[in-house]
Structure 1
Amino acid sequence: MKGPAKLVLVVIDGLTPTMLEASLGTSSTPALTALAERATLGRATSTFPSLTPVCLSSIATGAHPDVHEIPHLVWWHRGEGRLVEYGSSFGAARAAGLGRALRDTLVGMNAEHLGRSAVTVFEALADAGIRTASVNFTAYRGRTRHRPTVPFLGPVLGPERFFFYNLFQSERTGAPLSFRNRAAGTIDAYAAAVGRWLVTRDGFDFMLLYLSDYDYASHASGPDAAEAVLARSDEAIGDLVRAAGGVDEFLTRYALIVMSDHGQTSVRDVARLGDRFRHDADTLVAASNRAAHVYRLGPRAPGARALAERLDGEPSVDVALFREDGVVVARRDGAELRLDGAVLEGDSAVLDHPDAVARAAAALRCVNAGDVVVSAAETWEFEDLGGRHHRGGGSHGSLVAGDSLVPMLTAGLAGSPPRSIVDVAPAILGHFGVEAPGYALRRAA
């Protein structure tokens, strides 16, 4: 293409800034070290809840949940009267209905749940005639129709070149099967092989490569204890660099963003949040990892304020959010902060987390959010539908800094590096001279 350099975005799921920063200059991250020496490395904020489906939708659309409408890993679909579960665990998927959960995760999130007023970076670039490619990224909605490789999934709309865990493959690449042995790294090995194939052919203007294995490993081992998997992530990025002919050649050909979608913090304690509401009629708790939604399902349910106050004194809860007379209310240990547009009233310490006011308000204004949205306290996690948790390992989803801060390594981008994951899509569009959606422009103003 003529004009700006092509661009590669690599998302390493769950990588914390501290882990990346400590690894640079060591033998485990030669590719990232070489790139960081020629790039800008900083930190950015995630969205809330800081959970993968929400975060990846924010990266793809440049929006928080109030626009893209994906509220959590698990949520109540008011229109269909059922739970949506995107794979908190196998037990949670089985509790929600395994077949339904698989379809929601693989197809439904993009085809049905992702907000129609949101514009993905794949859609905006395709409309401008710019070739897009995506590898394993779960918020993939685009303009090109793709048929699956398995009979139980229908066709989807994705990027022009679309590779999704061997389930959708726009071309034959010779990449290995992704699900052979996830613990051994086969999912990221598949992604790396496809990415290398695309770079070798210079087969895109924009490519998004998603590496998910780090998050999987750090859930088990803890947020900064998955060194071996970070080394595999580095090797995958190194494959791209070598396919282009080396670091300097790669950065001559491509602008680059390497980032995470959320952080992680250590889990020592586990709560069954639903126990707080077991005597309340018409009330449902959708909890997973370190965030939860509480829904009023009928007229017998207590009001939103009463439900939030029910969480006072609950050690697993840091902040409970609800709306009252059109105003967002954040409640913490009995203290409150009211968010009436740009006016804040009350105790500002209630939301002393990174970019917390904007993130909390956007989460609560999501059309699919619960009547109360809950952020977990440090060290705590909420059991999912299957009773699963990550005690002794890592988790994420809350407003706290450890869950909410991500590394942001950029090279070849005009302007300042993104300060939030919702700034990434507008930065990509700006790189190619494409106007960002109106909601992103209003936020920037």
Structure 2
Amino acid sequence: MGFRLIFIVLFLSILLSSCSLHKNNEGQVNPIAIQTNNQTSPKVVLIVIDSLMDKPLKKAIQENKAPALAFFLNHGRYNKNLVSSYPTMSITIDSSLITGTYPDRHKIPGLVWYDEGEQRIINYGNGFFEMMKIGAPQFAEDTLYQFNNVDLSPNVETIHEVLDNRGKPTASINSIIHRGNYEHTLKMPKILSKTTKMPDQYNTLGPKVLSLGTFIRQDRKNPHLLNRLGLNDAFAAQELKYLLKKNILPEFSIIYLPVNDHVVHRKGPMTTEGIEELDKHLQEVLNAYPTWQNALDNMIWIIIGDSKQSFVKKNKKEALIDLRKALSNYKILSLGEPVRKKDELVITANERMAYVYKISNELSLKDIASKLQTDERIAWIAWKDKEMIQVRSGVQDGVLQFKPDGVFTDNYNQTWSIKGNSSILDLSIKNNNQIKYGDYPDVLARLYGAIHSQKGDFLIVDAKPGYEFIGESSPEHTGGGAHGSMHKTDSLTPIIVTGTNKSMDHLRIVDLKEWILDLLE
């Protein structure tokens, strides 16, 4: 393996894969603690914990292994049914979080997708081997520049942009999705820029205060840079403490804690190990105050997960759905290769959901879907047919068709036109034309969002619990956890709120932006 390739491998493995810990108690006094009682208006801190789930959270708290999270929960309100975006992959979810829209408007279809205009697969970080085939320079450009400055639609405003336009500065710590009104320079580690084809820096738009691991940080002495280039919980907690102690925390801040997700992928949805570790970093943040109780003074803390993970069966042959085998009669684009005239399909697996793109005009989406319907591990297959969305299942007969606007109303006050077998998406329709969602929360709006997230002709394929899609070199999580699907086992996540009794009309991640804006009015 050549010298340059070694560092490409090092860079990618760091990004894919915490450090100093302090004991706590709720009344501990810190000699350099910050004070908050002189603030005239509350500040809002939104902490996003990747793959935080109700059962392991409650278990960790009951076993006294998560005292910081217990403190916030005991001093606030809690709900375990915050509805995620779709696909239930962090890149799409967090785009919905900061824009208040589904992918039909913010235009980030998933962690991996096919750009019809550029005729290439875009990968924001779905596995080491996929990124190796796409190439480290292209991956770095997509994640550090293109995502925020090109792919995220200019037709939607992020919460950072809205608040800054209202004269309220904001911060983003370790969130890949951070577009704002200020230009920042992300500096590559010299060892990478000198040994690869990557540039030494990228310019990107972000909020007034931006931290993103080793690429840009507020605390120049932040020591937590080696683990994943600073994209870890210890780095994020240190940056938050720095802003607090320097009394420069802006009126709204997002802090992203990713490590729990990595642990759950390996050890399964019921593990508390990731929660226990991240809680130690939250304890450090609370210990920056004279007492933990002081952290609640003039502060609104919002702690959410971004999605759940569901268990993937241990038997690889049973658990992993290889769409290339089911569609082996077609010519499928290879990763990292340019589109050839003979190529007919592109497959991008996002763990428990996948996109299958038709790039040959001679093919029929319905015919492709019929080949996939024979696999009983697939819950349903959807595609766009003119104005209607078609949904079929290999388990149930018939077809479900729907589109926005119609006589049927759901509990989010959205209206729909629906025809056919509604049980395919586990919909119950009452006599008053009221839609009740079952296994797939807000499925009509979320599926509509994904179907209209990008150009081209494609299928959306969603797996049943216990199963995961794989592509050419995509990661697999047999015996562990995975997400991506529409099912409630991937879609419902906890939320803890302290410092306000302001209600939310609807408990969805897509609604958080407007609710937070109202809090800061």
**How many Å separate the matches in 1 of 2:457 and 2:39?**
47
* Corresponding residue of 1:404: 491
2:454 corresponds to 1:367: yes
Asked if structure 1 preserves the Cα contact closer than 8 Å seen for 2:382 and 2:389, the reply is yes
Secondary structure of 2:232's partner?
helix
Q: More displaced, 257-266 or 271-280? A: 271-280
Equivalent position of 1:323 in the other structure: 384
Structure 1 position 278 matched with structure 2 position 328: yes
Partner AA of 1:256 in structure 2? W
C-alpha separation between the residues in 2 aligned to 1:253 and 1:174? 28
Quick one: structure 1 residues 369 and 140, their matched pair in 2 at CA, closer, same or farther if it must change by over 3 Å? Answer: farther
Superposed displacement of residue 307, structure 1: 2.1
Of 346, 353, 358, which residue of structure 2 is paired with 1:291?
A: 353
Structure 1, 418-427 or 207-216: larger mean CA deviation: 418-427
Q: CA deviation at 1:75?
A: 0.7
User: Aligned match of 1:314 in 361, 375, 382?
Assistant: 375
Counterpart residue number, 1:35 = 72
What is the CA–CA distance in structure 2 between the aligned matches of 1:412 and 1:276, rounded to whole Å?
Answer: 52
Aligned to 1:262: 307
Q: Deviations over 1:70-90 (max 9, x none)?
A: 111111111111110111111
SS of equivalent to 1:109: helix
Q: CA deviation at 1:149?
A: 2.2
One-letter amino acid of the counterpart of residue 276, structure 1: A
Check 1:205–1:69 CA distance in 2 against 1; reply closer, same or farther (3 A cut): same
3-state DSSP of counterpart to 1:243: coil
Superposed CA RMSD: 1.9
Per-residue CA deviation, residues 142-182 of structure 1 (Å, 9 max, x unaligned), is: 1111112225231111111110011122x334212434369
CA distance in 1, matches of 2:449, 2:258: 26
Q: CA deviation at 1:370?
A: 5.5
Q: Report the Cα offset of residue 408 of structure 1.
A: 0.8
Letter in 2 for 1:49: P
CA contact under 8 A between 1:179 and 1:187: conserved in structure 2? no
Look up the match of 1:336: 399
Report SS of the residue matched to 1:11: strand
Matched, 1:391 2:478: yes
Query: Alpha-carbon deviations, 1:93-150, whole Å to 9, x = none?
Result: 1122222112212221111110111211111111111111111011100111111222
Equivalent positions of 1:109-128 (< 5 A) are 109-128=147-166
Alignment partner for residue 416 of structure 1, among 500, 503, 509?
503
2:183 to 123, 145, 159: 145
Letter in 2 for 1:432: L
AA aligned opposite 1:422: V
Distance in 2 (CA, whole Å) between partners of 1:256 and 1:123 is 21
Cα distance in 1 for residues equivalent to 2:501 and 2:208: 25
For structure 1, which runs of at least 5 residues remain unmatched after alignment?
434-445
SS of the residue 2:183 aligns to: strand
Q: Percent identity?
A: 26
Deviation per residue, 1:273-324 (Å, 9 max, x gap): 1222222351111113111101111212x22222222211213311211111
Contact 2:301 2:499 (C-alpha < 8 Å) held by counterparts: yes
User: Deviation at 1:51?
Assistant: 0.6
**Pair 1:212-2:258 in alignment:** yes
Give the structure 2 partner of residue 68 of structure 1: 106
| DSSP 3-state at the match of 1:244 | coil
Q: How does 1:81-160 map to 2 (within 5 A)?
A: 81-150=119-188, 152=199, 153-160=201-208
Q: Conserved in 1, the CA contact under 8 Å of 2:174 and 2:231? A: no
In the alignment, the residues of structure 2 paired with residue 4 and residue 273 of structure 1 have an alpha-carbon distance, to the nearest angstrom, of: 53
Instruction: State the distance in 1 between where 2:508 and 2:99 align.
Output: 12
Change in CA separation of 1:166 and 1:216 when aligned onto 2, cut-off 3 Å: same
- For the 8 Å contact 1:166–1:178, the answer to whether it is kept is yes
Measured in 1, the distance between the counterparts of 2:225 and 2:118 equals: 33
Q: What is the distance in 2 between the residues matched to 1:232 and 1:127?
A: 37
Asked if residue 221 in structure 1 is aligned to residue 295 in structure 2, the reply is: no
Instruction: Please state how far the C-alpha of 1:186 moved relative to its aligned partner.
Output: 7.6
How many residue pairs were aligned? 428
Q: Residue type of the partner of 1:382?
A: F
Between the aligned partners of 1:313 and 1:413, the Cα distance in structure 2 is 50
SS at match of 1:70: coil
